[in-house]
Amino acid sequence: MNTQNETDAMLRGQAQILQYIYGALDGMAIRCCVELRIADIINTHGRPTTLSEISTAIGSPSINVDGLERLMKFLVHRKFNRVFNEVMACSAKITTDVIVSYYKDGFLGSKGTVVDVGGGIGTAISEIVKAYPHLKGINL
pLDDT at 8: 82
- Is pLDDT above 80 for 80? no
What confidence score (pLDDT) does residue 83 get? Answer: 67
Domain range for residue 108?
Answer: 85-140
The reported pLDDT for the residue numbered 105 is 79
The identity of residue 92, as a single letter, is A
Name the maximum alpha-carbon separation found in the chain.
Answer: 74
Residues 27 and 47 in one domain: yes
113 - beta bridge partners?
136
Least confident of 64-68, 85-89, 112-116, 128-132: 85-89
Are residues 73 and 91 both part of a single domain? no
CA distance 19 to 53: 32
Please check whether residues 92 and 138 belong to one and the same domain: yes
* Beta strands in 43-107, from DSSP E residues, in sequence order: none
* Number of domains into which the chain is organized: 2
- Together in a domain, 10 and 71: yes
pTM listed for this prediction = 0.46
Which CATH number is 69's domain given? 1.10.10.10
